[in-house]
Amino acid sequence: MKFTVVSHACLYIEYKNIRLLIDPWIIGSTYWRSWWNYPAVSEELIEKLKPTHIYITHLHWDHFHGPTLRKFYDYNPTILLPKHFNRRMKEDILRDFKFSKIKELNHGQRYKLIDDFQVFSYQFNPFIIDSSILIEANGVTLLNCNDSKTFGLSLRQIISNHPKIDFAFRSHSSATPIPQCIRGTNVEKSDRSPSDYADDFIAFAMATKSRYVIPFASSHIYLHEMTKKFNKYYSDPSFIKKQFNLKVKSEQKCQIMVSGSSWSKLNGFNIVEHNFENLKSDVEIYSSRNKKKIYKHIEKGENQKLNKRAFENYYLKFLEACLSPFNLLDFKFGFLIDEKKSSNKYLCIIDGRKGKVEIIEILNEKEIYKYNLSFVILTPVYVFNDCNLKKMHNTYTPSKLLEVIAIEKNGIKKLIKYFNLVDLYENDSLPFYRLFNIRNIIIIFRRWRELIDIIFYFYIIKIKKKKIHNLWSMI
């Protein structure tokens, strides 16, 4: 049995005639040329990937990457998906790809690939698709939590079912645009520090009691001209390891594994070294290497005009979904869209109170304050058009291709509420009546622990005001 870290959040596991690829984003960029793998994936490694199965943990493009998936048509892999309340991931696969074998995995249920190779999908987050995958092969157990911040009874279920975990993989950063994309915010004072993310990672690691824990799903850099500034918040895995070694006194080990690093039962670790202290110079090297691709993409995008019909169609349906059984969106906000080619500026207003949308041509940014809006989001026209056409606003925010102007005093709270509603809507959980069917009742029964975990979260974080790493203290 052998596993290889391929990229940011991609893992490749080989045993006998089975080759399982998890969350493949291995070529090019994602999120409109904003995110790039760091370090880059070598062509030699890419050519070695010949998956029989592909598991996708959730919907975000750094895990569900269309150009990468299409590279594997010739191998006709079985696509494995978490069986969630919604059918969004399966429907996207059926509509946009040519894969013929698709299997949804029930929460916590064994799925045998061969006699000595089985996987378990553990979903987490009641309404929004996210999942971990646990692999048992050749007497080795891997828990790949990826972006899924599983805690409480949900994590205890995994540990109870699989008490001897050899390797645990987990992210150590956040893709949220808040507070970094909020205009006028002092990020250093309002954001969580690198030590906070390290403490979360360490608390999770200690809870799993795995032999090794791998900092994972956090190694990308920003090369788009709008997002390059966010590289200063890069979550360095060498810092995570340093903090881990300072705070953990058990036999558990933290091992950095960048692209190309592997472990096999026969030979142990084969580690590719990378110096993260070179981040600043590496960003410039990567920018220079990909300059033409980035420029071409931005130039093509900026030639677009605002697709007014796509905006109206998307947000009128969204507003309708927010009305049942009562109005969940009781405020008004907007998007400021600048058409570079025509020099026109459009304020696209979404009025939750009246259930209507409106497009107003304005002369300058100062005019946004005339319309009693809670907040305004500035974003490139090509990104906005794409999100409206593809129903992908829930994937938009990790790109950080946005700037938010909070106009009302509670503007940021309402922004967070809007983001949550978009997640629910695009994951088939709004209107709420869509949740009530036999399929979902069975799923809720399998995942009852999450209901208790929600209460636990609010008690620890909202009432007791403790730090997030305390969520793993009860395991």
Mean pLDDT within 412-433: 93
Distances (CA, A) of 464 to 196, 211, 469: 17, 32, 13
User: How big is the chain, counted in residues?
Assistant: 475
Contact yes or no for 136/146 (Cβ under 8 A): no
Residue recorded with tokens 């828990």: 143
For 122-130, what is the mean pLDDT? 83
pLDDT digits (tens, 9 = 90+) for 160-205: 999 999 999 999 998 899 999 999 998 888 778 889 999 999 999 9
Q: Which helix (H) or strand (E) holds 339?
A: strand 332-339
Beta partners for residue 82, in sequence order: 105
**Cα–Cα dist 197/468, whole Å:** 9
- pLDDT the model gives residue 434: 85
Tokens of 362: 């304005």
Average confidence (pLDDT) over 415-422: 96
End-to-end CA distance of the chain: 30
Percent of the chain with pLDDT over 90: 91
Residue 436 has a pLDDT of: 86
CA distance 31 to 192: 23
pLDDT averaged over every residue in the chain: 95
Residue 127 pLDDT: 65
Query: Could you tell me the two tokens for 130?
Result: 């996210």
- Report the pLDDT value the prediction gives residue 435, as an integer from 0 to 100: 84
Dist CA 168 CA 124 (whole Å)? 16
- Both tokens of 305, joined, read 């005009």
What pLDDT shows up at residue 358? 98
pLDDT for the residue numbered 191:
74
- Tell me how far apart the alpha carbons of residues 24 and 394 are, in angstroms, rounded to a whole number: 19
Residue 219 binned pLDDT confidence (cut-offs 50, 70, 90): very high
Distance between CA atoms of 293 and 221, rounded to whole angstroms? 16
Least confident of 191-205, 258-272, 344-358: 191-205
Residues 269-277 have a mean pLDDT of: 97
Q: At what angle do helices 152-161 and 449-457 cross, to 10 degrees?
A: 130
CA 287 to chain centre: 23
Across 29-38, 150-159, 419-428, least confident range:
419-428
Residue 116's pLDDT band, with cuts at 50, 70 and 90, is very high
Which of 220, 205, 130 is CA-nearest to residue 173? 220
**Strands of the 253-254 sheet, one edge to the other:** 110-114, 117-123, 131-137, 140-146, 167-170, 212-215, 253-254
- 250-272 burial: b if 16+ Cβ within 10 Å, else e: eebebbbbbbbbbbbeeeeeeeb
Closest to 371 in 3D by CA, of 387, 383, 384, 353: 353
131 strand-pairing partners: 123
Instruction: Tell me the pLDDT tens digit for each residue of 455-473.
Output: 999 999 999 999 999 999 8
Tell me what pLDDT residue 192 has.
84
pTM: 0.96
One-letter amino acid for residue 167 of the chain: F
